[in-house]
Structure 1
Amino acid sequence: MTELIASIEGTPAGHQAALALALLAAFLHALFGALQKGRHDPWVSRAAIDASYGIIAAPFALFVVPWPEPHMWPIFAGVFAIHVGYKLSQAMCYERGAYTVVYPVVRGTGPLFAVIGAGMIFGEHFNAGQWAGVAVLLSGIYGLALYNLRHVTVNRETMGPALALAVLTGGFVALYTTYDAYGIRATADPFTFLAWFFFIDGWFMPLFTVRRWRNVPASEFVPLIKRGVLGAFVAYFSFGAIMMATRLDRVGEAAVLRETSTVFAALIGWLVLGEKVGPRRTALMALIAAGAVIVELAGGN
């Protein structure tokens, strides 16, 4: 598999694979967000997910994939620190705001900063057509957030801090997207990066939230563990897909395409949570999809 990935990096076949992987990551990331924002405390939900993927990744990191090269350890330290900041801001955001409002703000802020970061770090620059696509996509995402804000009835009193935290979380999304893309390109075997990322990353939230677990009713413990295991596998494929996409092709384009996750989040809210979509939300979701298509077509790939 590693040889196959190396053989298509930077090729048309690699671009097509990156496109499919970014869209897969978009769907799975929306599902991951819904899992964390479910009926349980979002801090504890995230801890259950992280502990699950850390435990499952351990044997692969230690005994299956090649060990990281010496220069990778400082990179992993940076990855760990950035993801800690992301998780803390995300949990505080979900704790204070309605999912259908804060999630689009997080996802809308992320790609804008990620495109800028990709230009600074990897020398990738969008043309005028692609920036127009970003503008269309962001208008749809932020329009969806504003529409949901007008109609939401929960967490109204804490929505201001929640929106500020959503912007901060989006900044962390952009930061980890570009930094992790640098990390997965810095090692010979991308699966080494992925296995060790999940192994290292899985331990902070369980330790940080240990006191909160005392407040979990005994009847909810097993459902939380099940949610954690399910979330772990969603995280593997979601994060793994977007990281492979950034290795195979341009980071900025992958970051933008992933933000169609907002469309998938709205569909999950409609199909699973029974939320109404309506013509206005449908139009806004169409804008998001159109923006992603414009970015892709304007890139000339």
Structure 2
Amino acid sequence: MNLLALGLVLAAAVAHAVWNLAAKKAGAGGVPFVWLASVCSAVLLAPLGIWGVLGSGGHWLPWLLGGAVSGVLHTGYFVLLQRGYAQGDISVVYPLARGTGPALSVLLALLVLGERPGWPAVLGAAVVVGGVVLIGLSGSTPTPAKRPSRLGAGVLYGVLTGFTIAAYTLWDAHSVTSAGLAVFPISLMWGSALAEVLLLAPFALRSGGTTGSRVRSVWSQNRREVLIVATVSPLAYVLVLFALQLAPVAMVAPARELSVVFVTLAGAFLLHEAEPRKRLIGAGIVVAGVALIAVS
């Protein structure tokens, strides 16, 4: 993999782990939390987003199409992920989502986009997915009363989130690389955030019985987490979008799963979630897989 692309992916992995830990802390925030983060992201990204569109000659149609579809897919991703964090362990939901997503991304990149990475990259992708799944399954030993239901919810939401990851990865890669649709990465992220704001507004503002009451409550209780997600989440993904302009989806999608290693460590040692030894072994396997991709 291109060294610059690898560096972008590594930076994105750290940022991705940071905002997911913030989202986990605000797990009960639900749709209002996701909407508030999207609003803040849209505001913060606006100057660079507009600059990117104007720099392309003012071609608004590719931006509108790319951002609208991306926004729909990212909305599904954030809602499912936040719901999973509210009902399951982060070290089950997150690894299963991140394992299912790249596995499907690689498969579809080969079948749909016609990418042909070398065998070391394909093997590395398979190793990454295996390590991620091992991390997720390491939480499968039910221990007290609520454990079975939390495990089931974590697995369900993790897998569903993985499907949305594959969908938005392929669409966004197409949006920033296609000759007929090429969109500046930051502009695409801004358009996606605007679409999320519009899609979630009716649900966020009507939650909690009184219009806006739930939103005000979530903002009051989780302001710091909202701002972390609003700033660090788009930063992480913009880095990935730039990497996708330098390397194939089939290499970038699995390599960014290094974030699983950081989240696994935090889940085991900061949140004191179960089976740290198995999860650390899985994390080591993920690192080995990314190393294979890096040298391919």
- 1:135 partnered with 2:126: yes
What is the DSSP-based 3-state SS (H/G/I as helix, E as strand, rest coil) of the residue aligned with 2:117? coil
Note the residue ranges of structure 1 that are not aligned, 5 or more in a row. 1-11
What is the DSSP-based 3-state SS (H/G/I as helix, E as strand, rest coil) of the residue aligned with 1:248? coil
- 1:175 partnered with 2:167: yes
What is the DSSP-based 3-state SS (H/G/I as helix, E as strand, rest coil) of the residue aligned with 2:245? helix
In the alignment, the residues of structure 2 paired with residue 60 and residue 253 of structure 1 have an alpha-carbon distance, to the nearest angstrom, of: 28
What is the DSSP-based 3-state SS (H/G/I as helix, E as strand, rest coil) of the residue aligned with 2:140? helix
In the alignment, the residues of structure 2 paired with residue 188 and residue 96 of structure 1 have an alpha-carbon distance, to the nearest angstrom, of: 36
1:159 is matched with 151
In the alignment, the residues of structure 1 paired with residue 143 and residue 288 of structure 2 have an alpha-carbon distance, to the nearest angstrom, of: 26
In the alignment, the residues of structure 2 paired with residue 258 and residue 249 of structure 1 have an alpha-carbon distance, to the nearest angstrom, of: 12
1:122 aligned residue (105, 113, 116): 113
In the alignment, the residues of structure 2 paired with residue 155 and residue 52 of structure 1 have an alpha-carbon distance, to the nearest angstrom, of: 35
2:135 is matched with 144
Give the partner amino acid of 1:29.
Answer: H
Give the partner amino acid of 1:282.
Answer: L
Q: Is the 8 A contact 1:133 1:292 kept in 2?
A: yes
1:81 is matched with 72
Q: How does 1:1-301 map to 2 (within 5 A)?
A: 15-43=2-30, 44-62=32-50, 65-66=53-54, 67-150=58-141, 154-185=146-177, 186-187=181-182, 189-210=184-205, 211-212=207-208, 214-215=213-214, 221-270=219-268, 272-274=270-272, 278-297=276-295, 299=296
Give the partner amino acid of 2:154.
Answer: A
In the alignment, the residues of structure 1 paired with residue 216 and residue 186 of structure 2 have an alpha-carbon distance, to the nearest angstrom, of: 38
Q: Is the 8 A contact 2:258 2:287 kept in 1?
A: yes
Per-residue CA shift, 1:17-68, capped at 9, x if unaligned? 1111111111211222211111451413322221211222234434675144
Give the partner amino acid of 2:253.
Answer: A
Give the partner amino acid of 2:4.
Answer: A
Q: Is the 8 A contact 1:54 1:201 kept in 2?
A: no
Q: Is the 8 A contact 2:8 2:239 kept in 1?
A: yes
TM-score by length of 2: 0.84
Per-residue CA shift, 1:193-228, capped at 9, x if unaligned? 23333333344334422214635785x643422221
Provide the aligned C-alpha RMSD in A.
2.7
Q: Is the 8 A contact 1:79 1:180 kept in 2?
A: yes
* Identity among equivalent pairs (%): 24
Per-residue CA shift, 1:107-151, capped at 9, x if unaligned? 000111111122234321233333322222222111111112326
In the alignment, the residues of structure 2 paired with residue 116 and residue 235 of structure 1 have an alpha-carbon distance, to the nearest angstrom, of: 25
Give the number of equivalent residue pairs: 284
In the alignment, the residues of structure 2 paired with residue 259 and residue 75 of structure 1 have an alpha-carbon distance, to the nearest angstrom, of: 24
Q: Which deviates the most, 95-104 or 67-76?
A: 67-76
In the alignment, the residues of structure 1 paired with residue 119 and residue 50 of structure 2 have an alpha-carbon distance, to the nearest angstrom, of: 46
Q: Which deviates the most, 166-175 or 94-103?
A: 94-103
In the alignment, the residues of structure 2 paired with residue 64 and residue 71 of structure 1 have an alpha-carbon distance, to the nearest angstrom, of: 12
Offset of residue 158 of structure 1: 4.4
